[in-house]
Amino acid sequence: MLRIPCPFCGPRDHAEFTYLGDATVTYPPIDSTDQRAWYEAVYLRDNPRGPHKELWQHVNGCRMWLAVERDTMTHEIKSATAAHPGTRAALAAETAR
């Protein structure tokens, strides 16, 4: 069973989450008209073996987007943090109190 350690709700079954994709992809600027760059960002993906960073949303919980580092061979989850840098900083400040 795959359990994702949500930093807001605690460990939860993966069925509460939706996979949103590769967290390592860099998209072109939203106003870019470079079709090749958009094609590469949207359709061309590596299929990594081993540790990989992914985006997941806790849809049946806090609804936060998480950056999850998961080993694609063993499914072991190394870490799960808030995907948005501002949320990560606020969570770290709260934890430091």
pLDDT in tens, 41-86: 889 888 889 999 999 999 999 999 999 999 999 999 999 999 987 7
Q: What is the pLDDT of residue 31?
A: 95
Q: Confidence class of residue 94 from pLDDT cuts 50, 70 and 90?
A: low
Task: Say yes or no to pLDDT of 88 above 70.
Answer: no
Q: Enumerate domains of the chain plus CATH numbers.
A: 3-96 (3.30.2270.10)
In order of 28, 31, 41, 83, the CA distances from 34 in angstroms are 8, 9, 11, 26
Q: Does residue 85 come out as left (phi exceeding 0), alpha (psi in the -120 to 50 range) or beta?
A: alpha
Q: Looking at per-residue confidence, does 37 or 48 come out higher?
A: 37
pTM: 0.80
